[in-house]
């Protein structure tokens, strides 16, 4: 068929380890057609990234292609088997970047921080066409315009760290498009981005695909994204293809058990958790556990990150705080524990004996008491656990600070590990031996160790695969019911908020623009920004693709209408 | 983000000017502190130049009347309180560029040191160039071929030279060169050229002599730099931007030099600040052994004789060189790493 650009047959990529060969990709076959989007979907570790890298022969050492074929049909009709080429040779290099271009997940670390973006984009042209400096610049400016980067003339001489995450990903895309490739491989290009930015990047890729007639191989773990953009889907699990077919079929008539589970994990997040819909409402007259009034926090740089924020958290309740990165939600969460010193307002915390303490002005001794009762869970399950302590020591740390010792301490650690679904016999292991989801469980066990009353969870599930996300939220709700906890749940993901929060506050540029019961905010949003956030969530139903027609919020335009 | 419409080039230049001025202003209190510390260190041993001198005379059988000593002490200003002596010394330097006189040699310090300081500086710069020129390629090789024979060999040699004391290396090098190759060793010139004016012949003679001390001093610092380069590069080689560049179709060699090596050099530049003092102090011992006309032997003699203005001025000037080295490394780093300039 002349339409097929890339034909992969029985691809096997292996990593030699001490215990034998690890088969990262195990007999994968697929066809990629001109102008079409093939989504490869699976959890982390399923081999989808290695599949993509195998095509360009850029698998990290010591990985190598063991067998199989990757047939690329070039513009002149000739066919090359990429799997047979020398990974360091001239032939494969002439394919990379020119015929097949690739964009990566983390646009910050995937671009060099010390080279101007114009140089990094133009380089591809020099390598493949020997384009002169002057022409390079012209073409790069044109590319920057295509990917809709504002003010290309000055942007071209800037460095990556001067751009936001979304703009960096646009730079990556411009780089990939430089030589008009016939295939674009996108390896989780939107995973590190906000939902609204994700929607914009997906729009851009689709637009460029149409105008360039490219075939796109899109790798993601997010079934919602798949439903929005895919023509065909390939489901991978542990290096093997579980199911493949048109997107309609995958979503509405899945054949494989694993596919059903993947879809189920996303659909589950489409509505409120059963554990929460069934729960009795908190009595109206309950005095709030935390009462924040007119809180403001300005950084020394002059940035007003939190601007006159007021909110309350009642006992046993989950308050969601939602907003894009840069909206000040993380800063706000940190102010609640006085990690930062807010300049104005009050944070009244009610202690079990009924007495209230203003955390903002509290002295050292009372702050210490408060911090035993208010704890935090962090986003990055890797960075927030010390790699030099084993799990038992990590969980025991807050208990030791509280004065617990010996036998009692050991028992408590074991009990906590059971509570969060970890085997107590794993206590001697170090964090690196655990998966992302398990590491986040360790973080939760540490947070609940000293029987806190309030937990501030900052993007606690953002680094996890969708399938793990609902598990983690279920665990947090179970603990809430068992221990009578309250949560302040900070997230950029509306679906996560909808799943578990009782009430939600929407933050935009340091201010709270809307607050109310979750159902009410989600079903009848009062503020345009909330509507924009909601409509940017990928919808896991290919028959009802709504992201493209989403509602966009423009602060300057809305200023007059909305205030 | 800075204002969007400024030209990046002017942004860079204006930043660099402000940065350099700021760093220079910050260097002033450091220099002041160094001058005080230098002066205190010289005063630390009991006695002063005259007690040393008396002991010398006494050992030669001469007797000195108490009145003579008192008169000399008054003449040298040694009877005054320390802070006043310091004030006199530092004021002379600042107002007239006068570093005082050397008691022992009876000459103004300025006359004695400029020439030697020049050679010290030249030797240090040449050594630095030599070490970097050797360390960077070896570091790259060690990182790219990690755990290979060449990695182990380079690492072994680097540590071997680190372990051998400077003076031993200097002695062995001199012995080998003169006994086996018959080369004139010691000093920076052959006897014929020492007092001759500069000429092409003298330059050639200098080049023939200077490489041996450069190699001897340099080999001692080699290990540290090789290891730093290797570790930096190993970190950079696994970064995602390397994969990005590979996916563009860049050749492996160009990729290596253009991206990871370029980034691994940044931390290496900041080592200039401490490698310079290491080279200068290493130079003192080697210079004594190889009798080089640098500040090293002069400083040693001045310290032994408690010739305080000479020793103080030398320590001060060597410290100034170190501060300048740090300043240069800071400026270079700001030029090569935009994250320092713009963030």
Return the domain boundaries, chain B: 8-44+80-342
> Chain B residue closest to A122 (CA)?
B248
Confidence of residue A184 (pLDDT cuts 50, 70, 90): very high
pLDDT for B3 equals 45
Range in A116-120, A260-264, B3-7 the model is least confident about: B3-7
Are A202 and A98 within one domain? yes
Distance of alpha carbon A543 from alpha carbon A546, whole angstroms: 9
* CA atoms lying within 13 Å on the CB side of residue A13: 30
Q: pLDDT tens digits for A370-408?
A: 888 999 988 777 778 888 899 999 999 999 988 888 899
Cβ-based contacts under 8 A for chains A and B: 87
To the nearest whole Å, the CA of A188 is away from the closest chain B CA by 14
pLDDT for A561 equals 45
CA A218 to chain centre: 16
Cβ distance A151 to B5 less than 8 Å, yes or no, reads: yes
Find the angle CA(A99)-CA(A105)-CA(A109) to the nearest 5 degrees: 100
Comparison of pLDDT for A151 and B65, the residue scoring more: A151
pLDDT for B24 equals 85
Are A183 and A201 within one domain? yes
Are A370 and A492 within one domain? yes
Closest CA to B140 of B149, B151, B148: B151
Distance of alpha carbon B109 from alpha carbon B93, whole angstroms: 11
| A114 → closest Cβ in B247, B248, B262 | B262
To the nearest whole Å, the CA of A427 is away from the closest chain B CA by 30
Cβ distance B243 to A93 less than 8 Å, yes or no, reads: no
Give a yes or no: residue A542 inside a domain: no
- A58 in contact with B at a CB cutoff of 8 Å? yes
Q: pLDDT tens digits for A35-80?
A: 999 999 988 778 888 999 999 999 888 888 999 999 999 888 889 9
Q: Which helix (H) or strand (E) holds A298?
A: strand A290-298
Query: Span B25-40, mean pLDDT?
Result: 86
pLDDT for A557 equals 59
Average pLDDT of chain A is 88
Give a yes or no: residue A334 inside a domain: yes
pLDDT for B2 equals 43
CATH number, domain with residue A154 = 3.40.50.300
Are A113 and A198 within one domain? yes
pLDDT for B229 equals 92
| A114 → closest Cβ in B248, B338, B343 | B338
| B241 → closest Cβ in A53, A109, A159 | A109
Are A312 and A377 within one domain? yes
| B248 → closest Cβ in A127, A157, A159 | A127
Both tokens of A229, joined, read 């953009």
Confidence of residue A32 (pLDDT cuts 50, 70, 90): very high
Q: pLDDT tens digits for A450-461?
A: 889 999 998 888
pLDDT for A556 equals 61
Q: Are B331 and B23 in contact (CB under 8 A)?
A: yes
Q: Which of chain A's residues have a Cβ under 8 Å away from the Cβ of B246?
A: 56, 58, 96
Cβ distance A114 to B250 less than 8 Å, yes or no, reads: no
Q: Which of chain A's residues have a Cβ under 8 Å away from the Cβ of B243?
A: 53, 58, 60, 104, 110
User: Burial level of B239, CB count in 10 A (0-12/13-18/19+)?
Assistant: middle
Cβ distance A114 to B337 less than 8 Å, yes or no, reads: yes
Query: Span A470-479, mean pLDDT?
Result: 89
- A349 in contact with B at a CB cutoff of 8 Å? no
Q: Does domain B8-44+80-342 have CATH number 1.10.645.10?
A: no
What does each C-alpha distance from B296 to A119, A556, B42 come to in angstroms?
48, 69, 16
Are A257 and A294 within one domain? no
To the nearest whole Å, the CA of A111 is away from the closest chain B CA by 5
Q: pLDDT tens digits for A192-202?
A: 788 888 888 99
Give a yes or no: residue A152 inside a domain: yes
Give a yes or no: residue A310 inside a domain: yes
DSSP string, B126-185: HHHHHHHHHHHHHHHHHHHTTTSHHHHHHHHHHHHHHHS-HHHHHHHHHHIIIIIS----
The alpha-helical segments, DSSP class H, found in B164-290 are 166-175, 200-237, 240-247, 252-258, 260-270, 272-290
To the nearest whole Å, the CA of B78 is away from the closest chain A CA by 53
Cβ distance B8 to A158 less than 8 Å, yes or no, reads: yes
- A461 in contact with B at a CB cutoff of 8 Å? no
pLDDT for A2 equals 57
Give a yes or no: residue A455 inside a domain: yes
pLDDT for B64 equals 67
Q: Which residues contact B45 (CB under 8 A, 6 or more apart)?
A: B306
pLDDT for B63 equals 67
Cβ distance A161 to B241 less than 8 Å, yes or no, reads: no
Q: Which of chain B's residues have a Cβ under 8 Å away from the Cβ of A172?
A: 244
What does each C-alpha distance from A86 to A57, A91, A95 come to in angstroms?
8, 8, 12
Residue A562 pLDDT exceeds 60: no
pLDDT for A454 equals 93
Distance of alpha carbon B185 from alpha carbon B187, whole angstroms: 7
Are A306 and A353 within one domain? yes
Give a yes or no: residue A237 inside a domain: yes
Distance of alpha carbon A162 from alpha carbon A134, whole angstroms: 24
To the nearest whole Å, the CA of B30 is away from the closest chain A CA by 27
> Chain B residue closest to A106 (CA)?
B240
Give a yes or no: residue A27 inside a domain: yes
Q: Which of chain A's residues have a Cβ under 8 Å away from the Cβ of B6?
A: 154
Residue B298 pLDDT exceeds 50: yes
Range in A260-264, A414-418, B318-322 the model is least confident about: B318-322
Are A149 and A298 within one domain? no
Angle, to 10 degrees, between the axis of helix A391-401 and the axis of helix A406-419?
120
Confidence of residue B83 (pLDDT cuts 50, 70, 90): confident
Q: Are A13 and A21 in contact (CB under 8 A)?
A: no
Are A164 and A233 within one domain? yes
Cβ distance A111 to B239 less than 8 Å, yes or no, reads: no
Comparison of pLDDT for B183 and B247, the residue scoring more: B247
Q: Which of chain A's residues have a Cβ under 8 Å away from the Cβ of B259?
A: 112, 115
Closest CA to B247 of A108, A53, A131: A53
Query: Span A101-126, mean pLDDT?
Result: 91
Cβ distance A93 to B251 less than 8 Å, yes or no, reads: yes
Q: Whole domain around residue A20: which residue ranges?
A: 4-268
Average pLDDT of chain B is 84
- A104 in contact with B at a CB cutoff of 8 Å? yes
Sequence length of chain A is 563
Residue B136 pLDDT exceeds 80: yes
| B239 → closest Cβ in A109, A115, A157 | A109
Q: pLDDT tens digits for A204-233?
A: 999 899 988 899 999 998 888 899 999 999
Are A288 and A173 within one domain? no
Report the b/e string of A347-377 with b at 16+ CB within 10 A.
Answer: bbbbeeeeebbebbebeeebeeebbebbbbb
Are A182 and A73 within one domain? yes
Work out whether strand A356-358 and strand A344-350 pair parallel, antiparallel, or are unpaired: antiparallel
Residue B304 pLDDT exceeds 60: yes
- A124 in contact with B at a CB cutoff of 8 Å? yes
Counted domains in chain A: 2
Range in A118-127, A469-478, B10-19 the model is least confident about: B10-19
Q: pLDDT tens digits for A165-174?
A: 888 999 999 9
Residue A560 pLDDT exceeds 50: no
pLDDT for A279 equals 77
Cβ distance A128 to B262 less than 8 Å, yes or no, reads: no
Cβ distance B259 to A109 less than 8 Å, yes or no, reads: no
- A119 in contact with B at a CB cutoff of 8 Å? no
Q: Are B104 and B307 in contact (CB under 8 A)?
A: yes
Cβ distance A93 to B249 less than 8 Å, yes or no, reads: yes
pLDDT for A558 equals 55
pLDDT for B5 equals 46
| B247 → closest Cβ in A102, A157, A161 | A102
Q: What percent of chain B has pLDDT over 90?
A: 16
Are A261 and A356 within one domain? no
Confidence of residue A323 (pLDDT cuts 50, 70, 90): confident
To the nearest whole Å, the CA of A117 is away from the closest chain B CA by 12
pLDDT for A282 equals 75
* CA atoms lying within 13 Å on the CB side of residue A54: 35
Q: Are A430 and A390 in contact (CB under 8 A)?
A: yes
Confidence of residue B1 (pLDDT cuts 50, 70, 90): very low
Q: Are A134 and A65 in contact (CB under 8 A)?
A: no
pLDDT for B202 equals 85
Closest CA to A168 of A99, A104, A102, A101: A104
Q: Which of chain B's residues have a Cβ under 8 Å away from the Cβ of A116?
A: 8
């Amino acid at each position: 068929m002349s339409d097929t650009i890339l034909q992969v047959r029985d691809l096997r990529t292996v990593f030699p380890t001490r215990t034998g060969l690890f088969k990262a990709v195990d007999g994968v076959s697929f066809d990629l057609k001109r102008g079409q989007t093939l989504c490869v979907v699976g959890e982390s570790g399923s081999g989808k990234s290695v599949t993509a890298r195998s095509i360009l022969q850029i698998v990290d050492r010591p990985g190598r292609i063991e067998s199989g074929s990757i047939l690329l049909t070039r513009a002149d009709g000739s066919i090359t088997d990429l799997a047979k080429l020398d990974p360091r040779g001239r032939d494969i290099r002439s394919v990379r970047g020119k015929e097949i271009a690739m964009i990566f997940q983390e646009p910050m670390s995937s671009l060099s921080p010390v080279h101007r973006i114009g140089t990094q984009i133009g380089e591809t042209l020099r390598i493949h066409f020997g384009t002169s400096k002057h022409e390079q610049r012209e073409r790069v400016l044109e590319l920057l315009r295509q990917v809709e980067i504002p003010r290309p003339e000055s942007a071209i001489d800037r460095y990556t760290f001067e751009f936001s995450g979304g703009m960096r990903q646009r730079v990556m895309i411009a780089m990939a498009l430089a030589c008009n490739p016939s295939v674009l491989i996108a390896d989780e290009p939107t995973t590190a981005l906000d939902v609204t930015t994700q929607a914009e990047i997906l729009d851009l890729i689709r637009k460029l695909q149409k105008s360039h007639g490219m075939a796109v191989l899109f790798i993601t773990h997010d079934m919602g994204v798949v439903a929005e953009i895919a023509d065909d889907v390939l489901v991978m699990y542990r290096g093997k293809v579980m199911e493949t077919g048109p997107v309609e079929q995958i979503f509405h008539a899945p054949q494989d058990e694993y596919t059903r589970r993947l879809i189920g994990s996303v659909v589950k997040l489409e509505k409120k958790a059963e554990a929460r819909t069934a729960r009795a409402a908190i009595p109206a007259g309950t005095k709030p556990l935390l009462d924040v009034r007119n809180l403001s926090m300005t950084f020394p740089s002059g940035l007003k990150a939190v601007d006159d924020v007021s909110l309350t958290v009642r006992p046993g309740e989950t308050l969601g705080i939602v907003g894009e990165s840069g909206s000040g939600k993380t800063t706000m969460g940190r102010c609640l524990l006085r990690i930062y010193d807010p300049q104005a307002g009050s944070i009244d915390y009610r202690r079990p004996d009924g007495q209230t303490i203003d955390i903002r002005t509290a002295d050292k001794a009372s702050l210490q008491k408060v911090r035993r009762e208010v704890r935090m869970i962090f986003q990055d399950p890797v960075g927030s656990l010390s790699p030099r302590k084993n799990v038992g020591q990590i969980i025991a740390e807050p208990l030791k600070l509280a004065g617990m010792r010996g036998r009692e301490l050991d028992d408590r650690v074991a009990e906590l590990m059971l509570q969060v679904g970890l085997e107590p016999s794993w206590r001697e292991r170090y964090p690196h031996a655990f998966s992302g989801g398990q590491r986040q469980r360790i973080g939760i066990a540490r947070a609940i160790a000293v029987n806190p009353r309030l937990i501030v969870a900052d993007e606690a599930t953002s680094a996890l695969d969708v399938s793990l996300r609902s598990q983690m939220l279920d665990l947090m709700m179970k603990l809430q019911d068992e221990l009578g906890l309250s949560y302040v749940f900070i997230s950029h993901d509306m679906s996560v908020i909808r799943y578990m929060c009782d009430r939600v506050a929407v933050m935009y540029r340091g201010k709270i623009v809307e607050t109310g019961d979750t159902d009410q905010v989600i079903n009848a949003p009062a503020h345009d920004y909330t509507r924009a956030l909601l409509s940017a969530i990928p919808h896991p139903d290919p028959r009802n693709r709504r992201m493209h027609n989403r509602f966009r919020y423009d602060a300057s335009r809305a200023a007059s209408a909305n205030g | 983000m800075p204002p969007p419409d400024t030209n990046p080039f002017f942004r860079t230049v204006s930043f660099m000017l402000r940065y350099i001025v700021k760093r220079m202003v910050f260097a002033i209190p450091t220099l002041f502190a160094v001058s005080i510390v230098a002066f205190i260190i010289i005063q630390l041993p009991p006695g002063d130049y005259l007690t040393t001198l008396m002991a010398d005379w006494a050992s030669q059988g001469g007797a000195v009347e108490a009145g003579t000593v008192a008169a000399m002490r008054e003449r040298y200003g040694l009877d005054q309180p320390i802070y006043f002596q310091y004030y006199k010394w530092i004021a002379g330097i600042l107002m007239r560029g006068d570093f005082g006189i050397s008691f022992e040699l009876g000459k103004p310090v300025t006359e004695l040191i400029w020439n030697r300081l020049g050679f010290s500086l030249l030797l240090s710069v040449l050594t630095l160039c030599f070490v970097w020129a050797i360390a960077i390629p070896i570091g790259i090789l060690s990182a790219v071929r990690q755990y290979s024979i060449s990695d182990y060999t380079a690492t072994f040699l680097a540590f071997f030279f680190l372990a051998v004391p400077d003076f031993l290396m200097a002695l062995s090098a001199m012995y080998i060169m003169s006994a086996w190759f018959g080369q004139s060793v010691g000093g920076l010139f052959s006897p014929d050229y020492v007092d001759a004016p500069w000429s092409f012949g003298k330059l050639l003679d200098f080049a023939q002599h200077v490489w041996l001390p450069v190699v001897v001093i340099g080999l001692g610092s080699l290990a540290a730099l090789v290891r730093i380069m290797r570790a930096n590069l190993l970190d950079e080689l696994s970064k995602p931007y390397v994969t990005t560049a590979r996916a563009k179709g860049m050749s492996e060699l160009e990729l290596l030099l253009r991206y990871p090596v370029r980034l691994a050099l940044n931390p290496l530049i900041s080592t200039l600040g401490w490698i310079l003092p290491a080279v200068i102090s290493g130079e003192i011992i080697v210079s004594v052994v190889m009798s080089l006309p640098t500040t090293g032997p002069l400083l040693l003699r001045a310290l032994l004789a408690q010739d305080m203005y000479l020793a103080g001025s030398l320590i001060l000037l060597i410290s100034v060189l170190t501060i300048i080295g740090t300043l240069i490394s800071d400026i270079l780093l700001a030029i090569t790493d935009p994250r320092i300039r713009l963030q």
